[in-house]
């Protein structure tokens, strides 16, 4: 879960961190993005700097990365047939989940169009109390959700 420490114990940490109430809260922040999405990456870079959040880009799965057979197999597993872009997005998230499992550390997964509140660092610090949660989903959408 979240790790806490003081400036002295975590100063040289290689992991991403948030600072809240004088404590460092170590959390990886992964932003799913195609390397060709320069404008979106620039936006995220600026947004993260303003929020004083460290992050890393995780290369998104492109529609060109998915074999037609795989697409056809998974496109109909949902409430409605998925577009190839939605299947690619799902695979991108699946890659992020795998990375989190391998690291055994909590992480925030964002898509490169995420617009964060100035209160995001505080919210993430507050989530440290939710130690028994395996997944906390923070979404704001007006459209119908896709669930498997």
Q: What is the pLDDT along the chain (148 residues), one digit of tens a residue?
A: 333 333 333 333 444 455 544 545 567 899 999 999 999 999 999 999 999 888 999 999 999 998 888 888 877 777 788 888 999 999 999 999 999 999 988 889 999 999 999 988 888 877 766 667 777 887 766 655 555 4
CA distances from 64 to 31, 51, 81 (A): 20, 34, 19
The tokens describing 52, both together, are 């004083």
Domain boundaries defined on the chain: 3-129
Q: Write the DSSP symbol of residue 63.
A: G
Sign of CA dihedral 37, 88, 65, 68: negative
């Amino acid at each position: 879960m979240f790790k806490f420490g003081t400036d002295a114990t975590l100063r040289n940490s290689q992991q991403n961190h948030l600072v809240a109430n004088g404590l460092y809260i170590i959390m990886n922040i992964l932003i799913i993005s195609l390397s060709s999405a320069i404008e979106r990456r620039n936006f995220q870079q600026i947004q993260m700097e303003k929020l004083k959040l460290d992050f890393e880009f995780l290369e998104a799965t492109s529609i060109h990365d998915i074999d037609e057979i795989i697409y056809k197999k998974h496109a109909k597993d949902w409430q409605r047939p998925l577009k190839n872009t939605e299947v690619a997005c799902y695979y991108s998230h699946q890659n992020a989940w795998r990375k989190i499992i391998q690291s055994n550390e909590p992480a925030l997964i964002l898509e490169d169009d995420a617009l964060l509140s100035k209160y995001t660092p505080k919210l993430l610090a507050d989530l440290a109390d939710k130690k028994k949660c395996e997944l906390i989903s923070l979404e704001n959408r007006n459209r119908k959700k896709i669930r498997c």
